[in-house]
């Protein structure tokens, strides 16, 4: 019989449990509260906060922010048996019922902290039936949450007047500190307001709040809740408080992170609060001085090279500047990068053995299949070393190196470096991409320079707490070091006026860039610890005569380095073991040949850099009177001498001829020699017109077609043909103009050694 009763009792308990589980499933708890999105700095301080979807300031208080002082004060004041009851305090209910029934004492609802949470989660009119529902919900909350979590919910939901809810929002908006940074007096102040949020309004009723705060401090002291000296000090603390605006640092990155993580109430960013504040102030004040020049915006990115974390992010000079479109994010905006990609190109070329720092590159007007680049100052230098070409940001040598490397190889590396616009438009990019003909963002460009600072290793930038990322070796440590060594030189034209004499000039490697039409000014620099990228311009795309990387962007770059990295370790990049030195001919930068008396030391990459011997001069057989030269086939048995002559590229020789630059020109070849010398690779190169191009000429304006070519420096005369009909003879460097007939046209050029070149073009006439 006893066994049967026990079985019935167990069945009853199971049935009751099933009913409770069913009710719990049928009447689920209200959804979690909607919090204000908050973006934190590295140290946990609030950078930026937003209203929640219901337009309230309700910032989530984390468990670690609930200090023992706050916990004790709230529990002592609101529900001293909170840790012991199961959501409802039956003793308090009986006492409250007696007081309410007999009218003795203050009328009360005996609400526990858990019951208050239930009411705050699901506000209802205060009736007896709703009170019963509130009690049921409190029990349900106790099943689902721990005591710490219930207390956390309470502290996140309590009202502080107006649209301020929760301890954290109140602490930040009134005391400008998170809850765990508050004093005892401030903590007690926040503990007493939720019961009277309309009567005790901080900033409006400070005297009443102070009186009530001190009353509770004395009660807490009498109860032995806090040490007497601490209470005495708190009683003396003044209450001069007012409501402040919510934190608004880093608005662009904060907006970006909130959009990226819409369900997170608290987002910890990688930003360093002090650096962010300083970068915003410097950028804002600097752009304000530029406004009279028609320049209204700038963007800045500061990256820690070791961690790849972004420590400062300035999307515009002033987020609130609606006239200047300040809400646009200049860090991610796609703009023309100007010359900022040149260091990466040269690093790739170094890795493939195409160049070395002291190697000479032609810097003369050149036609690359119809593309004729010009240097920024419209001036050519004949021949320059690679390091000068990069330090002086010369365009023509850069295009020549890109032509050697290959555009697909270059754009593929940019794709690996995260250049999204380049990836989308790779098939449309050509040689102009190295001069700004492709789109790039400050974010992409800055990380490319971080890659150079990190020995050529690429990894994505980090905007939150660091986590492992796949890395990719884009260039070798040796190529990265050589590029850095060149970019750190101070003898260069893009050094701002007066900077060389400044004692505050930072030790950095940097590169400037200016886009076509002076619409964008760039300056990106790095040292061992930081990389900083700067863009200056207008979001409207409007250009300004003052916009140049050297004069407008670099001063801000230097200011940022001096302000943010002034205490960086005083060390610099060291050459990697893969690099070595060798002697090279000063005239060519190549391994010395048999006639290279002037030699200099240059870096090179063993097994990679070219071992080609210098041939900047060549031995020539010259007649006794020096009037002509012989080839091996026509040289007499005697009566000639051996001499050394410059072995110039045809385009360099043509440039010297056109500019009247004196050089030792080779005498004409023996007129008695009947041998046609040299293969087709030494035939004239027609530089105008461009092959397979349509030319539209206006008949009434009598527009003409220009014929030019480059030849070996021993060629004196060329012969032009149009549609296989002889046109005229001309000097090798002479510019010839013709008025061609409409339709297909075959242009031919032969030199005085019998070598010939043809191009096909189409001419269309307009009436």
Question: What are the tokens at 514?
Answer: 């200016």
Query: Is pLDDT above 80 for 394?
Result: yes
Model pLDDT for residues 223-239, shown as the tens digit of each residue: 899 999 999 999 999 98
Model pLDDT for residues 76-104, shown as the tens digit of each residue: 888 888 888 887 777 666 665 555 555 55
DSSP assignment of 502-570 equals: -TT----EEEEEE-TTS-EEEEEEE-SSEEEEEEEE-TT----TT--IIIIIHHHHHHHHHHHSTTS-S
- pTM exceeds 0.75: yes
Same domain flag for 490 and 524: yes
What is the pairing mode between strands 685-688 and 705-710?
A: antiparallel
pLDDT at residue 21 in the model: 54
Query: Is pLDDT above 50 for 718?
Result: yes
Same domain flag for 91 and 22: no
What is the pairing mode between strands 472-473 and 457-458?
A: antiparallel
Q: How far apart are the first and last CA of the chain?
A: 120
CATH classification at residue 355: 3.40.710.10
Cross-strand pairs, 147: none
pLDDT at residue 60 in the model: 92
**For the chain, percent of residues with pLDDT exceeding 70:** 91
Query: Is pLDDT above 60 for 20?
Result: no
Same domain flag for 376 and 490: yes
Query: Is pLDDT above 80 for 498?
Result: no
Model pLDDT for residues 113-168, shown as the tens digit of each residue: 888 888 888 877 777 777 778 787 878 788 888 899 889 999 999 988 888 999 99
Angle between helices 228-236 and 184-192 (to 10 degrees): 80
Q: Which of 18-22, 127-131, 633-637 has the lowest mean pLDDT?
A: 18-22
Over range 104-119, report the average pLDDT.
Answer: 70
Model pLDDT for residues 302-353, shown as the tens digit of each residue: 999 999 999 999 999 999 988 889 999 999 999 999 999 999 999 999 999 9
Where a domain ends, among 564, 587, 616? 564
Same domain flag for 431 and 341: yes
Q: Which residue has the tokens 């096909």?
A: 760
Of 100 and 663, more confident? 663
Q: Tell me the HSE value of 496 on the side-chain side, using a 13 A CA sphere.
A: 22
pLDDT at residue 697 in the model: 83
Where a domain ends, among 236, 264, 287? 236
Of 415 and 709, more confident? 415
Of 353 and 195, more confident? 353
- Binned at pLDDT 50, 70 and 90, residue 290 comes out as very high
pLDDT at residue 323 in the model: 85
Round to whole Å and give the CA distance between 202 and 164. Answer: 11
- The reply to whether 510 falls in a domain is yes
Is residue 124 within 8 A of residue 17, CB to CB? The reply is: no
Of 484, 526, 514, give the one whose Cα is nearest residue 344.
Answer: 484
Same domain flag for 376 and 521: yes
Over range 465-477, report the average pLDDT.
Answer: 86
Active-site annotation, residues: 78, 339
Of 439, 418, 512, 443, give the one whose Cα is nearest residue 301.
Answer: 443
Same domain flag for 26 and 55: no
Q: Which of 4-13, 295-304, 520-529 has the lowest mean pLDDT?
A: 4-13
Query: Is pLDDT above 60 for 599?
Result: yes
- The reply to whether 173 falls in a domain is yes
Same domain flag for 391 and 318: yes
- The reply to whether 461 falls in a domain is yes
Q: Which of 139-143, 291-295, 586-590 has the lowest mean pLDDT?
A: 139-143
Angle between helices 477-487 and 342-351 (to 10 degrees): 140
- The reply to whether 37 falls in a domain is no
Model pLDDT for residues 665-684, shown as the tens digit of each residue: 888 877 777 665 555 567 88
Same domain flag for 77 and 23: no
Domain range spanning residue 705? 682-766
Question: Rounded mean pLDDT of the chain?
Answer: 87
Is residue 363 within 8 A of residue 342, CB to CB? The reply is: no
Same domain flag for 21 and 126: no
Same domain flag for 356 and 461: yes
Same domain flag for 6 and 69: no
- Binned at pLDDT 50, 70 and 90, residue 33 comes out as confident
Is residue 38 within 8 A of residue 49, CB to CB? The reply is: yes
Where a domain ends, among 511, 534, 564? 564
Query: Is pLDDT above 60 for 51?
Result: yes
Burial zone of 198 (CB within 10 Å; 0-12 exposed, 13-18 middle, 19+ buried): exposed
Distances (CA, A) of 382 to 351, 385, 585, 748: 25, 11, 17, 27
- The reply to whether 110 falls in a domain is yes
- Whether the bond into 622 is cis, omega within 30 of 0: no
- The reply to whether 578 falls in a domain is no
Structural domains counted in the chain: 4
pLDDT at residue 499 in the model: 61
- Binned at pLDDT 50, 70 and 90, residue 107 comes out as very low
Round to whole Å and give the CA distance between 275 and 164. Answer: 30
- The reply to whether 228 falls in a domain is yes
- The reply to whether 618 falls in a domain is no
Same domain flag for 7 and 126: no
């Amino acid at each position: 019989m006893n066994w049967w009763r026990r079985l019935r009792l167990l069945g009853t308990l199971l049935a009751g449990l099933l009913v409770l589980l069913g009710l719990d499933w049928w009447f689920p708890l209200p959804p979690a509260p909607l919090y204000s999105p908050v973006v934190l700095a590295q140290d946990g301080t609030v950078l930026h906060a937003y209203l929640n979807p219901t337009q309230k300031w309700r910032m989530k208080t984390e468990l670690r922010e609930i200090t023992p002082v706050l916990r004790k004060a709230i529990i002592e004041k609101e529900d001293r048996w909170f840790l012991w009851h199961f959501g409802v305090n039956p003793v308090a209910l009986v006492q409250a019922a007696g007081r309410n029934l007999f009218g003795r004492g203050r009328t009360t609802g005996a609400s526990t902290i858990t019951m208050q949470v239930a009411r705050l989660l699901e506000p209802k009119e205060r009736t007896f039936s709703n009170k019963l529902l509130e009690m049921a919900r409190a029990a349900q909350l106790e099943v689902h949450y721990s005591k710490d979590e219930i207390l956390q919910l309470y502290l996140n939901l309590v009202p502080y007047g107006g649209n301020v809810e929760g301890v954290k929002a109140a602490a930040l908006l009134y005391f400008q500190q998170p809850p765990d940074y508050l004093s005892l007096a401030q903590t007690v102040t926040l503990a007493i307001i939720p019961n009277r949020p309309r009567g005790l309004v901080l900033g409006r009723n400070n005297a009443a709040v102070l009186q009530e705060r001190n009353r509770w401090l004395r009660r807490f002291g009498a109860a032995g809740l806090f040490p007497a000296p601490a209470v005495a000090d708190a009683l003396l603390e003044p209450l001069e408080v007012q409501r402040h605006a919510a934190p608004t640092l880093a608005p662009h990155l904060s907006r970006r992170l909130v959009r990226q993580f819409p369900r997170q109430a608290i987002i910890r960013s990688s930003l360093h609060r002090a650096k962010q504040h300083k970068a915003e102030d410097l950028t804002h004040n600097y752009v304000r001085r530029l406004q009279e020049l028609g320049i209204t915006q700038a963007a800045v990115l500061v990256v820690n090279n070791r961690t790849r974390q972004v420590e400062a992010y300035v999307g515009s000079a002033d987020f609130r500047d609606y006239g200047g479109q300040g809400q646009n994010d200049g860090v991610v905006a796609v703009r023309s990068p100007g010359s900022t990609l040149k260091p990466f190109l040269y690093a790739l070329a170094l890795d493939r053995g195409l160049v070395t720092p002291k190697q000479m590159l032609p810097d003369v007007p050149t036609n690359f299949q119809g593309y004729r680049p010009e240097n920024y100052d419209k001036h050519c230098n004949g021949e320059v070393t690679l390091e000068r070409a990069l330090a002086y940001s010369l365009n023509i040598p850069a295009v020549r190196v890109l032509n050697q490397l290959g555009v697909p190889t270059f754009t593929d590396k940019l794709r690996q470096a995260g250049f999204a616009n380049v990836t989308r438009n790779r098939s449309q990019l050509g040689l102009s991409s190295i001069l700004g003909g492709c789109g790039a963002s400050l974010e992409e460009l800055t990380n490319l320079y971080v890659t150079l600072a990190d020995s050529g290793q690429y990894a994505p930038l980090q905007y939150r707490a660091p986590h492992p990322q796949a890395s990719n070796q884009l260039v070798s440590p040796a190529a990265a070091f050589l590029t850095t060594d060149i970019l750190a030189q101070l003898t260069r034209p893009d050094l701002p006026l007066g900077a060389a004499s400044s004692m505050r000039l930072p030790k950095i490697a940097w590169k400037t860039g200016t886009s076509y039409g002076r619409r964008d000014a760039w300056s990106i620099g790095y040292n061992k610890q930081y990389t900083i990228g700067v863009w200056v311009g207008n979001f409207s795309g409007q250009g300004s005569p003052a916009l140049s990387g050297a004069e407008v962007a670099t001063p801000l770059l230097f200011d940022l380095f001096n302000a943010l990295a002034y205490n960086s370790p005083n060390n610099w990049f060291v050459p990697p073991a893969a690099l070595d030195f060798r002697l090279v001919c000063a005239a060519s930068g190549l391994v010395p040949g048999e006639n290279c008396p002037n030699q200099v030391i240059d870096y090179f990459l063993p097994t990679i850099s070219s071992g080609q011997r210098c041939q900047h001069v060549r031995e020539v057989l010259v007649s006794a009177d020096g009037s002509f030269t012989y080839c091996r086939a026509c040289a007499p048995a005697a009566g000639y001498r051996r001499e050394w002559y410059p072995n110039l590229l045809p385009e360099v020789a043509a440039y010297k001829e056109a500019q009247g630059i004196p050089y030792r020109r080779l005498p004409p070849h023996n007129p008695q020699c009947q041998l046609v010398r040299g293969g087709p690779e030494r035939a004239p190169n027609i530089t105008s017109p461009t092959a397979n191009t349509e030319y539209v000429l206006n008949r009434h304006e009598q527009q003409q077609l220009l014929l030019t070519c480059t030849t070996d420096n021993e060629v004196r005369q060329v012969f032009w043909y149009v549609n296989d009909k002889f046109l005229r003879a001309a000097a090798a460097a002479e510019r010839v103009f013709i008025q061609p007939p409409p339709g297909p046209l075959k242009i031919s050029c032969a030199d005085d050694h019998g070598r010939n070149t043809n191009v096909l073009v189409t001419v269309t006439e307009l009436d």
